[in-house]
Structure 1
């Protein structure tokens, strides 16, 4: 029988699936073997799957080849792997038989959330730490409806109205029938993908872009059509060319404080993008989740808010309260044509019959105080941004770290090396970062990292201290071998777990 082909997209995907394998106690080879054992026993590495050669995996994980060899040999002795000269290393046929093909995330952004706390500082997942006081007050004072089933697949009418009114204030007249309330922006994107994208369809994406969207498009077996992002956002000329030639089923953009680069698309190119998408019949999705997070300058003024893309034509807007209020308040929405929203509501009804009603009531209340909540959040973000950049300049001056004008993250470029490999070393020093390659469908951004600045100042300082220690270990010197060329030093377990964040 022919062996089952390796089920992952590439080596970077395997490294991502391995996740936080090194953030524990004990020798690295045992930690690596334990994580491979879990992937094999869960059927995520099926019988016959070919594993990367020793040297190649060692370089990707920034460890010595002996670490990988020892891990593979441990699993071979357990009967989980077969190693033969000339045919490489494969999962043994006696392993768990493969089940139905299900695309699960290999995105470190999500894997870091699924793993139990272990002393690692998460600079990978950008979300506010703790809700504002208005959220607790909204729950404390709310009144639940007496005569109501509690099922509202399209969302509570009062919340749909409040969201629609906010679009009206921004210069985009909107009725409540144009709003679908979702369980966060991630579900909004998931529903749009399920409705509009079929296997093999093209999807225009920015390069790099939000990795959670890439996961959804891959799950749908779509083909990414990446377009580069520069200092002023997506290359609109190239985006129009891609839409004209390939007619993708969907175009997904983050025009304001682009995730991860922080770029802002000016209004005129934005208008051109919308008009081209409308003329070519390509549904254009505007991810507005970060749009309100413009920094306040020393004079107290923020970045002038341009009109949303939906002011220029037919655009599907996706928003959320997770970045302004709290990630635990799972309230997002879709703004679009009423006919599209009705179809999405019918699709959402299949999955969950509607969002949590108390959360929707709280969200309605919070939208009435939205300006105050945004101002408080932005002040905290600006302070964290300045502190993180100052610490990076002090301890890692060779890293390129341009200032952001809003949002929650810095887009950092390493002077040399590979972000995926460095992220492995950083994990062993107790800090998780998001490598640029995991967000780039073009395969670029390999020397980039995305770092957020939402943690308290003392924690950000400790995170940078750990990053600096990781960089000293990772960065080759004239008298030392580079990453992957020899055994990596074992971390001190007590030091790694000394601080639990």
Structure 2
């Protein structure tokens, strides 16, 4: 990198060291923002460690640690002899109107590519019939209401409905222990903002939900696997119908996890977004049920997006009343509270939970079995454990890496989610997540395309493609 370009980069980095926390985390956070916003495009060379360290007046170790962290996240590629470069995206680089490059796993939400089957984002794309009745009742409830509608902690009707939902599961809960959010993603963002400082360690499962990894990294936290000996500021798990594996943590392991979190005095975040999607029809007890002296250190989050519909942006946090009060004050700064009609509709749907869940789980279980059968038939060298719930299957390929295979798959009109995005250390390169939300005939077509792509990638057939994607 020449002097002019280095000066431009330093200008872009700006006041990167003005925050709190270790310098390498602050530097990595600024680079992350520049890469995610498309300011530093795919393939852009970055300065050598020593050169940038000298220019920024920091030790070389600071730059090395920042680059290594970005490499673990898959944002840069470091190779001896060729230096450090911004990593290529897993999907074609698509820009929004403001020139921001989207997260590769979310690109199709902003710009769905024509003709490509998207096995990436897992959320139901068709609301249930009960949604119409739910909104009709919500509208009726508004008749005669005199209320500003600004409710940072959530609408009282929904807070009581969620509290009753947990009481029915054997967990005593009051409305004051519930905060309504705009989906579980906002719940994670609020918790990270309140609980984490730059440089804090968060322990997670590997693999885990990539949206959580992004939230923690943007809080400048260090994310490590559960087995790490580090003392964490928080622990995050998806123990029921895990995203991406569809596994369910057994009761002894739940008890051990809750006990360990208490011993470490670390908040334990129990992500129950998929909890009502267990194929057995039985929903395991939330982690807070396993707490020996109440549930002070266990925080539960959930939402309606996977059970009902992705467009129903209603979620919640269950925690102690003092913590909920602090979170409500924080949320008030951001948006003064969520949209009221959707919250009233969500309360209605919670009262119809058994009906909604039975229909949804029945379809998911049938689709799961169909996808497993198709994979065994057409891709017998691929391996996976059947899911016990949720919406996704965690698949391993026998050779190569999914990042490169995903490019071949795109040329055969099917998109997959590479495993690296689900690993806090950026590993699991031979894994991918496939959802089974499509109708069965579409799942069959998707597996046919995956088989064609695998034959091309694996060298068993001359590569062909239905169309050439512009990258």
Query: Normalising by structure 1, what TM-score?
Result: 0.73
Residue 87 (structure 1) shift: 8.0
3-state SS of paired residue (1:317): strand
Counterpart residue number, 2:117: 121
Deviations 1:22-63 (A, max 9, x none): xxxxxxxxxxxxxxxxx89952439974499xxxxxxxxxxx
Counterpart residue number, 2:378: 395
Counterpart residue number, 1:406: 389
> What root-mean-square deviation, in Å, do the aligned CA atoms of Structure 1 and Structure 2 show?
3.0
Q: Any conservation in 1 of the 2:370–2:440 contact (CA below 8 Å)?
A: yes
3-state SS of paired residue (1:493): coil
Q: Which has the higher contact order (CA 8 A, sep 6+)?
A: 1
Q: Which runs of 5+ in 2 are unaligned?
A: 14-23, 49-80, 87-99
Distance in 1 separating the partners of 2:211 and 2:36: 25
Give runs of aligned pairs for residues 60-459 of structure 1, distance below 5 A.
107-141=103-137, 142-143=139-140, 144=142, 146-227=145-226, 238=227, 242=228, 245-296=229-280, 302=281, 304-313=282-291, 314=295, 315-459=298-442
3-state SS of paired residue (1:207): coil
Of the three residues 38, 41, 46, the one matched with 1:45 is 41
Counting matched residue pairs gives 394
Cα distance change of structure 1 residues 311 and 111 upon mapping to structure 2, 3 Å threshold:
same
Cα distance change of structure 1 residues 256 and 87 upon mapping to structure 2, 3 Å threshold:
closer
Residue 432 (structure 1) shift: 1.0
Distance in 2 separating the partners of 1:350 and 1:162: 25
Residue 462 (structure 1) shift: 1.2
Counterpart residue number, 2:459: 476
Distance in 2 separating the partners of 1:148 and 1:130: 32
Cα distance change of structure 1 residues 89 and 407 upon mapping to structure 2, 3 Å threshold:
closer
Deviations 1:215-250 (A, max 9, x none): 1111111101213xxxxxxxxxx3xxx4xx422111
Distance in 2 separating the partners of 1:334 and 1:260: 21
Distance in 2 separating the partners of 1:41 and 1:220: 16
Distance in 1 separating the partners of 2:441 and 2:42: 44
Deviates more, 1:41-50 or 1:150-159: 41-50
3-state SS of paired residue (1:363): helix
Cα distance change of structure 1 residues 358 and 132 upon mapping to structure 2, 3 Å threshold:
same
Distance in 2 separating the partners of 1:114 and 1:41: 14
Distance in 1 separating the partners of 2:146 and 2:259: 46
Distance in 2 separating the partners of 1:255 and 1:138: 30
Deviates more, 1:112-121 or 1:415-424: 112-121
Q: Any conservation in 2 of the 1:107–1:211 contact (CA below 8 Å)?
A: no
3-state SS of paired residue (2:160): helix
Deviations 1:336-365 (A, max 9, x none): 011111111111111111111110010011
Q: Any conservation in 1 of the 2:128–2:356 contact (CA below 8 Å)?
A: yes
Cα distance change of structure 1 residues 208 and 106 upon mapping to structure 2, 3 Å threshold:
farther
3-state SS of paired residue (1:469): helix
Distance in 1 separating the partners of 2:466 and 2:300: 48
Deviations 1:48-96 (A, max 9, x none): 74499xxxxxxxxxxxxxxxxxxxxxxxxxxxxxxxxx988989xxxxx
Q: Which runs of 5+ in 1 are unaligned?
A: 18-38, 53-85, 92-103, 228-237, 297-301, 481-488
Distance in 2 separating the partners of 1:358 and 1:252: 31
Counterpart residue number, 1:493: 467
Cα distance change of structure 1 residues 364 and 402 upon mapping to structure 2, 3 Å threshold:
same
Deviations 1:398-442 (A, max 9, x none): 111321111111111101110111111111111111111111123
Distance in 1 separating the partners of 2:132 and 2:47: 49
